[in-house]
Structure formats: C-alpha cells, structure tokens
A and B are shown apart, each in its own frame.
Chain A
Amino acid sequence: MRLLLRNIKIVMIVFALISVGLLGGILIQQYRAQRDLRVAAGENKAILRSRYASAGTIYSADGVALAHSSEGRRLYAADATLAQSLSQLVGDYTHNIHNTIEAQYQGQLTGTERNPFSQLLFDVTGRGLAGDDITLTIDSRLQLAAWNLLGDYRGAIVLIDYHLGAIRAMVSKPATSPENIINYENIPDTALFNRALMGRYAPGSSFKFVTAAAYMQSPAWNPDHLVFCSGSEPIVPNGVREHGEGHGELNMTRAFQVSCNHFYGNIALEAGYEKLRETAEGFAYNRPLAVDRLDASGGRISSDPFDQALLSWLGIGQPLDASVLYASPLQLALMAGAVGNGGVMMEPHIVQHLTNPLEQQYQTLEPRERATVLDPETNRRVRELMLAGIDGGTGELAAVPGYAVGGKTGTAEVEGQERPNAVFLAFLDSPAHPYAVGIVCENAGYASGIAAPMASELFRLAIQLRG
C-alpha cells in the first residue's frame, strides 16, 4: 500500500507535467499559428468562403460596391465590365492573386485584426462579427472609361490625382472575371498580372524630359544649346541615331516637340551618367514603391557608367543589353504628376478610408510627399518643355480644349516584338483638375496616334465629372 501510494505520487507528478505541457503547448501552437499561418498560401476555398461570409464591403470613391458579402457568398461589382477591370486590384476571396485589396486587407475586411477592446465595443453593439468596409480612391466611371479606351491592346492605364497621390483609375489588360479567377479556369495568358502596378516597361522617348532635367541641373547646362541632327548616323559609335533624314539643327524645345534622338542623346552625354541616374532617382527610380498595402514596381535605372553608347541610348529612354531602364505605368503617371505638382511627387494611394462597423472612418487618406523631384526653377523649365510636347509636339492628340496639358510620347522597341510599345505620360496643368496619366499599349506602334488620344479622352471625362 505504501508502495502503491508512492507510485501514484510519481505518476501524478508525471501527469501534472504532461498536463501543464499540453495546456502550454496548445497556447504556444495557437500563438504560432496566428503569427505564421493566418494568410498562408494553400488555404482552401471552403475555409476562405466561410471567413469572408460576413466580410466588409469594398466601395469605389463614388459609392459603387466593388465587392460585398451576402448570405455567405462573396459577390463582386454588379457591372461585369467594371468587375473585370478591377479583378487584379480588388482581387478574389480565394487569393489566387495575392497582391490585391481582398488579400492584403483580409484582416480588416473580416474584422480579425482588432484589439480586444474595440472588439468588445463592437460586440456590445451587436456588430462584432461584421468586418470593416474599405473605400477605394478609384472612381468607377473613370475606371470604366479607361477600360474601354484601352480597347483590345495589352497594356495598362493609370490615372492619378497628383495633389493627393490618389489613384482614380487603374486598368490592366488582359484581365478576366472574378468568377474565372476564383474557379481558376478560362484565364487568358497573364490575365492575373497587374501590369499597371507591376509592369516593367522601357519608357522610350517619354523619358526625355528626365534627360532634359538632368542636363538642366548639370554644369554643362546651356539654354541655347544647339545640336545638328544628321539622321541615321550614330552620335557616338553604336550610339543613338535617328530614323530617316534627320531634323537638322534644333534647340531643346524643338527637339522635344519632334522627339529628336540626336539632341537628347547628346545632352545625356553632356550631363553624364551620374547626373542622369541622380535625376532619375530624384523621380524615385531605384526605390521600392508601395501603394498602401499593395506592392508595386517603381522604376529602375542602371548602366555601365563609362559606356558612352549605352548612355546616349538611356538619354532617349531605351535600355540596351548591359543597361537597365524600366518603369511601371503607375510610375509613369507619378512622374508626370510630379512635374504638374511643382516638382513634388506624392505618395500613391488606393485606399480612401476604412469604415468600422460603428461607421467610424479610420486610416483616411493623408496626402504625403514621396520625394521632391526638382527645384522650382528647373521644374518650371521642364513643365514648359512638356507643355510644348503636347502643344505642337508629338503628343498633340492629347490636348484638351481650354486646358493646358503637358506630356511626352514614347515608342519603345522591345526585342522579339513585332511593333514597339506605345508609352505615354501626361498631366493636366490645372490646379482644379490635378490629373496625371501613364499609359502603355504593348505591341501597338507609335504613341502619338494611339496613346495620346486616350489621355485626352480620360482628362475630358475627369474634368466633366468634377464639374
């Protein structure tokens, strides 16, 4: 009996240890799961559907529901075209696209990232299970217009408000319906890829205003600099050359209007690679870019600093073998917007505000400067250059009657592509209508005839909507 009792005591100690280990282990595993597994890939649809069963609504800035939950189902914009145009931005509850509002704001939409006190408050008011609503800066009418304007081209259009940094429209083609994404079927090639945010396009001639800014800020700056354009003869061995006859002798403004490669290759050499890179970095190249919680690709520039031929090509926005130069459509719009905004680039935003179940707004968009790109004097000169680029330049078709528009066309050669990419960036020079646009049409041809009219249409609608 004495032995039995002693043995039971031993066993009891062992069981006490096991019990404490078990209770502690459960807590630790929950903590680890909350930290590591909450948004893990490979979640299955049934779990996600139930998790989004009472998730919040995603609204556009003009109050259109872009995604909402009803009777346990997650529904997307009622207008099928609108839903398709936003499929890569709003996303899908199955998270087949990761870089979306649905995926990145899952905690807010499902209301699982609240602190216990506000949760208790919502619980008491009976709204504890409801998620938070998200209002985007997207205007559904501009979004639809942009979608229609892009037509059958692959590519992207981004329209921003350059005072606030708010993205008003963002389309990327090809895209497909949310249903197809959720079921993962009938998805056209690359339709899950958000070109507007993540596309990496050579800017082509649209980069020339950066080259001009670099030259203006360099010691070699001469306002009356003249260059003789001799056509197809390269300015340095393997360097930049012009198609056809050549433009003859021209100054900076005229060269901008006709988009002369000789001139801009020349001033790139005058300014030097370091100055060009420095100026581009002023425009936030080589820096990470994020739109609230979404990832975006900004721009990148790099080259062999001693290779003059590569430098002359970079001056007209064309990367070659050893050099790198690209920008996303969003970055193009931001660059144009920075010039329109007095040389200050704003941080891009997509979320206007979040609304909790008690109708309180939080995380309201606060305009924030991303970078001071140019000093006011240089910016004034660059702005005039860009205004000339539309008024009497290659970007003529982007003009809006009664308003000043500044911009630059670009036509970027892409290896293995039949036709060049049409690239266009522009801003509306009006404090009441601070819009800037970045457009890329893949495999399209010349930007002046294709992309510039799209910008004009979009600006007109934006002006009309704001009244």
Chain B
Amino acid sequence: MNASSIAYLARYLFAGLFVLIAGLLLTKAIRDISGRMRRNLRPVAGHYLLVVEGEGAAARTVKPLPLFHTTILGRSRVCDIRLGTDTVGARHAIIYRFEGRWFIRPVRASLPLLLNGAEVRDPVPLADQDRITLGEVNLVYIQDEAAQELLAAERQRLYRDRGMLPTLGTWFWVNIFYGALALLLLFLLQGDRLFLREPVFILLVAVWVLFNLYHFLLPWLLDPLDRPAWLAMMLVAIFGMVMQIRFSGLSNRLREMDAERMANLLGDIRIQGIALLAGLVLLPIVAVIARRSRLIELFVPVCFVVTPLLLIITLILGRGRETHGASLWIRIGGISLQLTEFAKLTYLVVLAGFFKIRPDRRVQIGFAAWAAVIFFLIMLLPDLGSAMILMMVTLVVYVVMTSEYLTTLAILVAGSALGALAFALFPHVRARISGWTTLWTEVTPRNAQIVYGLQAIARGGLLGRGLANGSPEGIPLAASDMVFAVVCEEFGILVGLAIVVCYITIWLRGAKSTMTVRDGFTSSLILGIVTALFAEAAIVICGVTGLLPLTGATLPFVAAGGSSLLAKFIMMAIYFGLAARREEDVLWLQPTAGGVPLMTEEDDGP
C-alpha cells in the first residue's frame, strides 16, 4: 500500500468525522436559537422605569416597567413599552445602553420629551431617579445598585451549574479529526519532502496545544465562551491549515524539483503558519479586551478615520502591482499586507457605532456619505468582492437596527445599479460575466479557472480522492480563490457542504448573541462580524461553483493569505469577547415591596 491509497482510504474517516462534527454544531446552534426565540424579551437587571402618578409629594408608583438594551416607548404595537394615550407618539422615545451608560432621546427631534423638566432633543445620559415625561406620562428611571450586587453573587452560583452548552463530545471528535488529519499529513511528507516533517510537526503540535488550552482557558477568561462558534471556527481553521500545508508541501510531489523550489516550500508554510499562530496568540488578548473593556466603543471615531486611510494607502502603494485586475497588496519591509482585510473590520466597527440604536435621519445621511466614500475607494481598487460583502453587511445591520424596510429596498436597488456600473466600467468584470454565461458550453480563458474547478468538484464525487490525490496544479489560484474546489476534490462534496454548515453555525450563534447581549452597539457589531464572515464564504463558494459570476474573495480560515487569516482571527476574537458580554446582566430584578425575587433565564420577562 502506498501513500496515495492510504490517503484514499482515510477519506471515509474524514468525511464521516467532519460531517458528524458539523452536524452536532448545527443542531446545537439551531436548538439553542429556537429556544431563545421563544423567550425572546430579556430585560436588563437592576435598571427599570417606574410609572408615576401625581406630582411632588403626592406622587405614587403605579407599576414598574422593564428596560431592555434598546427600549422603544410609544403607542405602537412594536414598541417595547406601550403607552396607551393619544399624547404619545407611535414611536416616541428610545432608551438605550452604550458604553455601560444609559441614554434617552426622542425618536424624532420634533417629539416632545422632557427630562427632569428640560426638553431633550439629542441623546442625554440618564441618572438614578431621573424623571421622564412623554406627553402626559411620567416615568422615573431607577438604577438599583444593591440589586446589581446581589445579582453578581447569584450569577456566580447559576453559572457554575449551567450557561454553557455541552460541547465535550464535539470537542473530543474535533481532536480525533485533528489527530487523524495531522498523522496522515505527516505520513504523506515522505521522500524528498521528508525535510518538511519537522517544521510541520512543530506547527501542528503548537496549534493543537493552543486549541485545547484555549478550549478550557477561554471560558474562564471570557466567562463564558461561545463554544459552538469556537469549535466551528477552529474546525475550519485547522482544516484550512492542513490544506495550506498540502498546497505548499505536497503539490508536484511526483515531479522533479530543484533545490531552490524545494526551499521555497518551507517558506510558504512558514508564512501561513506564522499568521495562524499570531492569530491564535492574539485571540485571547483581543477577546478579553473586547469583553472586559470599552476600548472598541472608544475606537469608533478612530476607525472612522482609519478605514478610508487604509484604503487610500492601498491605492497609493499598491499601484502597479495588479493581480487579476485588482491591486490589493502593499509591501512593507518584505511583508505583503492586504490592508483591505483590516479595513473591513474597521468598517464594521464604524457601522456598529452609527447603528447602535435607530439613529435619526441626520445621522443616517451622515453615515451614508461616509460609506459612499468608502465604497468609492473600494471600487477604485477595485475590490468588488469586498464591496459585495460590505454591502450585504450594511444592509443586514441597517435593517435590523432601524427597521427601515423601504430604505433597505432602495439601497438594494442602488447596490444593483452599482453592480451594473461596475460591469460597465471594469473590463475584468465584463470578461468574468461573459465567461460565466458560457460556463457549460465552451471553455475559454475567461472561464477556464471555474471550469477546471468544477471538473475537480465533479471528480471528487461524494467522498473525494483523498488528501493530496487531487489536482490543484491544474487549477489557477488553487490555494487561494479556488481552494473550495480542491477541498471538494480531495475530501468530497460532503466535507464541502459541512464547511458551509460550519459558517452557518457561526452565523446562527452570532444571531443568537445579537438577541442576548446587553447593548445595541454590541448587537450590531456581532451581527456585522458574523454576517461579513458568512457573506464572504457564500460569495466565494458561489463563485467557485459557478453559481454566481464572482471570484476574488477568500474562503475565511481556509484560503491562503496571512493578512486575511489574521484579520479573520481578530474579527472572531472580537466576536467571542462581545458575545460573552451577554451573560452579565441577563437576570432581571423585579422590584416589589420587601423582597427581591429573581427572574432567571428560564422565565419570560414581563
């Protein structure tokens, strides 16, 4: 039995394990989110409103009202607090949390809103015992410090018992999968590739140690860790690492290679390995900062300036280095950086900063102007893949945070128009589309890449041909843009689908966290991060499989590219930190005379 046939036999194991793990993660995510959907309104503990009747000394409390991280007060049915008098607007005022403080503002500046007797137009911070007047309704804002302290102790007790989904089985299977894959990879590095065994072994062990260390350290650091998303991310990242080692170390293994090219193999592995390890080292640091501090909120104005700067730097320094019609790379001291990957992240932060609550028209237009500049710069690069991803993310965050359905539709139409404009302006886009339309009828230089990719997917069949038995040598950009085709060829369509399931899992976990975190900024940044990740994966997979006339985006965690990998790890680190913010205040203290009954997660809020 030679190496190829062992790799071929092992495909059953890998397909089985990968599908098993992805299936476990997806079912967990779906079960969890459907549970959350049922008891969806989750008030914030220790903060509430009291409805007050009468003035001065004659005032008496009628009833308490819960506060959510974003609370809309008004007459309409969609409001969280419904006030049934004609003097109140349909959607009158918003009380929301940002950077740990509570703010209030009218939905529109023209609506009358008084705080301690003074008129409010722009957001104003709330303090304990502040008196809010909407029309003829009087409310008092209460911040119950004592209840918060009480809750902190209660929380400790509760989280010892539960709060984290049982993922021990999945973690075990991921380890088995990793072990088997690593052993096969090391075994395949034989003959003239033997010299790669040692560095690859070190890399594999380092990643394995960090993965298992973090799996138990991060829940403690972040309190808690979103383990299904963590495992889904690590599964794809580990798989991607093995694929990248395979691309550099095992390609052309049957051909004669000179010493110089052999030495380059190690260099390729080193770049990808360093990016992966750097990402893993940064992950807990970034996650803890996001979890424990308000640094990201403080960074919003910085990101506001940095995003266009990153794009402009790429535009200026990247000139003349065009690959495939776009110049996205800049070189600084021998290191190639793809700054646009980081620009995506800073864009998401700015987006969340603007849409932490439903902003009024003025702010929305201000954001639109800024976004127009960003999109203009991206189109100048031109990086249509990023433009598509950011467009999708902006739309999703916008519609979720503002409920502006009509405007969303208008933006969609405008986006399509932008696409048509791109078609008219960029010859390489036109070429791509004309190649795509003839995908099934003729092979031309315009669509050869996709056709070769599809042929590889067809050859792979259900279970694939085994690690390193595929033909990435024949597919242009196999390691980066077309990596999904090679995955399907070597591991089969089952693993291809399971990878998609992993991205879906991460998105579902993000959607769930969006509902449970404690302020609007966190909500929208989480939503932005997971949507960006999913959109990027969906767009590149659609492109590779010929579903859409697109390529150029990278498959997150799998495709070659150190900047992309590092940026994705930072994004996910921020996600893990933000998602952990949720559990802090999930309990709502219902004030009654005397005792303080606790409402735990299982109970519906009032």
A72 to chain B: closest residue by CB: B254
Identify which of A32, A37, A44, A128 gathers the most chain B CB atoms within 10 Å of its CB: A37
7 further A-B pairs in the complex, CB-CB below 8 A; given A4-B401, A7-B400, A41-B443: A2-B80, A5-B515, A23-B497, A26-B545, A30-B454, A112-B461, A126-B1
Identify which of A10, A18, A33, A48 gathers the most chain B CB atoms within 10 Å of its CB: A33
9-residue interface stretch from B69-77, B130-138, B157-165: B69-77
Given contacts A2-B79, A11-B399, A26-B493, contact A129 B466 (CB under 8 A): yes
9-residue interface stretch from A50-58, A402-410, A448-456: A50-58
B443 to chain A: closest residue by CB: A42
CA distance A298 to B28 in the complex (A): 65
A432 within 8 A of B: no
B395 to chain A: closest residue by CB: A11
- Measured between C-beta atoms, what is the minimum distance from A44 to chain B in Å? 5
**Are A15 and B507 in contact, with the CB atoms below 8 A?**
yes
Contact with A along B497-516 (1 / 0, CB 8 A): 10011001001100100110
* CB-defined contacts of A54 to chain B, threshold 8 Å: 4
**Are B72 and A2 in contact, with the CB atoms below 8 A?**
yes
Instruction: Tell me the B464-485 residues at the A interface (CB within 8 Å).
Output: 465-466, 469-471, 473-475
* CB-defined contacts of A26 to chain B, threshold 8 Å: 493, 496-497, 500, 541, 545, 547
A40 within 8 A of B: yes
Contact with B along A104-116 (1 / 0, CB 8 A): 0000000010001
A51 to chain B: closest residue by CB: B471
**Which B residues form the contact surface with A (CB < 8 A)?**
1, 4-5, 8-9, 12, 33, 37, 40-41, 68-72, 78-80, 253-255, 396, 399-401, 403, 440, 442-443, 448, 451-452, 454-462, 465-466, 469-471, 473-475, 488, 493, 496-497, 500-501, 504, 507-508, 511, 514-515, 520, 523, 527, 534, 538, 541-542, 545-547
**Are B403 and A3 in contact, with the CB atoms below 8 A?**
yes
**Are A12 and B68 in contact, with the CB atoms below 8 A?**
no
CA distance A37 to B12 in the complex (A): 25
A130 to chain B: closest residue by CB: B5
- Measured between C-beta atoms, what is the minimum distance from A3 to chain B in Å? 5
Q: Give which listed residue, A6, A22, A116, contacts B78 with CB less than 8 A.
A: A6
Contact with B along A50-85 (1 / 0, CB 8 A): 110110000000000000000111000000000000
Instruction: Tell me the A255-287 residues at the B interface (CB within 8 Å).
Output: none
B485 to chain A: closest residue by CB: A33
**Are B71 and A1 in contact, with the CB atoms below 8 A?**
yes
**Are B507 and A8 in contact, with the CB atoms below 8 A?**
no
* CB-defined contacts of A27 to chain B, threshold 8 Å: 493, 497
- Measured between C-beta atoms, what is the minimum distance from B555 to chain A in Å? 13
CA distance A22 to B546 in the complex (A): 11
Identify which of B9, B466, B470 gathers the most chain A CB atoms within 10 Å of its CB: B9
CA distance A32 to B466 in the complex (A): 22
Instruction: Tell me the A114-170 residues at the B interface (CB within 8 Å).
Output: 116, 123, 126-130
A45 within 8 A of B: yes
B499 to chain A: closest residue by CB: A26
* CB-defined contacts of B440 to chain A, threshold 8 Å: 32, 36-37
A29 within 8 A of B: yes
**Are A30 and B78 in contact, with the CB atoms below 8 A?**
no
* CB-defined contacts of B507 to chain A, threshold 8 Å: 15
Q: List 9 A-B contacts (CB under 8 A).
A: A1-B72, A4-B400, A4-B523, A11-B511, A15-B511, A23-B497, A25-B547, A27-B493, A123-B9
Given contacts A46-B473, A54-B4, A128-B5, contact A19 B504 (CB under 8 A): yes
**Are B534 and A15 in contact, with the CB atoms below 8 A?**
yes
* CB-defined contacts of A45 to chain B, threshold 8 Å: 474
A124 to chain B: closest residue by CB: B9
A18 to chain B: closest residue by CB: B538
Identify which of A18, A26, A130 gathers the most chain B CB atoms within 10 Å of its CB: A26
* CB-defined contacts of A32 to chain B, threshold 8 Å: 440, 454
**Are A7 and B69 in contact, with the CB atoms below 8 A?**
no
Sorting the interface of chain A by its residue count into under 10, 10 to 19, 20 to 34 or 35 or more gives: 35 or more
- Measured between C-beta atoms, what is the minimum distance from A439 to chain B in Å? 40
* CB-defined contacts of B9 to chain A, threshold 8 Å: 123, 126, 128
CA distance A38 to B456 in the complex (A): 9
A1 to chain B: closest residue by CB: B68
**Are B399 and A10 in contact, with the CB atoms below 8 A?**
yes
A465 within 8 A of B: no
* CB-defined contacts of B541 to chain A, threshold 8 Å: 22, 26
* CB-defined contacts of A384 to chain B, threshold 8 Å: none
**Are A50 and B457 in contact, with the CB atoms below 8 A?**
no
CA distance A73 to B254 in the complex (A): 8
Q: Give which listed residue, A22, A25, A47, contacts B455 with CB less than 8 A.
A: A47
CA distance A112 to B9 in the complex (A): 15
Closest 4 A/B residue pairs (Cβ): A72-B254, A47-B474, A42-B443, A1-B68
A34 within 8 A of B: yes
**Are A51 and B459 in contact, with the CB atoms below 8 A?**
yes
**Are A129 and B5 in contact, with the CB atoms below 8 A?**
yes
**Are A25 and B71 in contact, with the CB atoms below 8 A?**
no
**Are B41 and A37 in contact, with the CB atoms below 8 A?**
no
A43 within 8 A of B: yes
B451 to chain A: closest residue by CB: A37
* CB-defined contacts of A8 to chain B, threshold 8 Å: 400, 511, 514-515, 527
Instruction: Tell me the A364-386 residues at the B interface (CB within 8 Å).
Output: none
* CB-defined contacts of A46 to chain B, threshold 8 Å: 471, 473-474
CA distance A1 to B42 in the complex (A): 9
Instruction: Tell me the A238-270 residues at the B interface (CB within 8 Å).
Output: none
CA distance A394 to B466 in the complex (A): 63
* CB-defined contacts of A15 to chain B, threshold 8 Å: 504, 507, 511, 534
A38 to chain B: closest residue by CB: B458
* CB-defined contacts of A460 to chain B, threshold 8 Å: none
- Measured between C-beta atoms, what is the minimum distance from B7 to chain A in Å? 8
A225 within 8 A of B: no
Given contacts A47-B455, A51-B459, contact A2 B403 (CB under 8 A): no
**Are A129 and B4 in contact, with the CB atoms below 8 A?**
yes
A293 within 8 A of B: no
Given contacts A8-B400, A26-B545, A42-B451, contact A2 B78 (CB under 8 A): yes
CA distance A12 to B455 in the complex (A): 33
**Are A50 and B455 in contact, with the CB atoms below 8 A?**
no
CA distance A236 to B451 in the complex (A): 61
CA distance A26 to B504 in the complex (A): 15
CA distance A53 to B474 in the complex (A): 13
CA distance A32 to B475 in the complex (A): 19
**Are A30 and B458 in contact, with the CB atoms below 8 A?**
yes
CA distance A44 to B254 in the complex (A): 17
CA distance A70 to B178 in the complex (A): 32
A7 to chain B: closest residue by CB: B400
* CB-defined contacts of B456 to chain A, threshold 8 Å: 47
**Are A50 and B72 in contact, with the CB atoms below 8 A?**
no
**Are B5 and A126 in contact, with the CB atoms below 8 A?**
yes
CA distance A371 to B459 in the complex (A): 40
**Are A123 and B452 in contact, with the CB atoms below 8 A?**
no
Identify which of B1, B400, B469, B493 gathers the most chain A CB atoms within 10 Å of its CB: B400
**Are A29 and B546 in contact, with the CB atoms below 8 A?**
yes
Identify which of B4, B458, B507 gathers the most chain A CB atoms within 10 Å of its CB: B458
* CB-defined contacts of A1 to chain B, threshold 8 Å: 41, 68-72, 80
- Measured between C-beta atoms, what is the minimum distance from B352 to chain A in Å? 13
* CB-defined contacts of B542 to chain A, threshold 8 Å: 22, 25
**Are A47 and B454 in contact, with the CB atoms below 8 A?**
no
Q: Give which listed residue, A6, A50, A129, contacts B473 with CB less than 8 A.
A: A50
* CB-defined contacts of B547 to chain A, threshold 8 Å: 22, 25-26, 29
- Measured between C-beta atoms, what is the minimum distance from B429 to chain A in Å? 21
* CB-defined contacts of A129 to chain B, threshold 8 Å: 4-5, 8, 465-466, 469
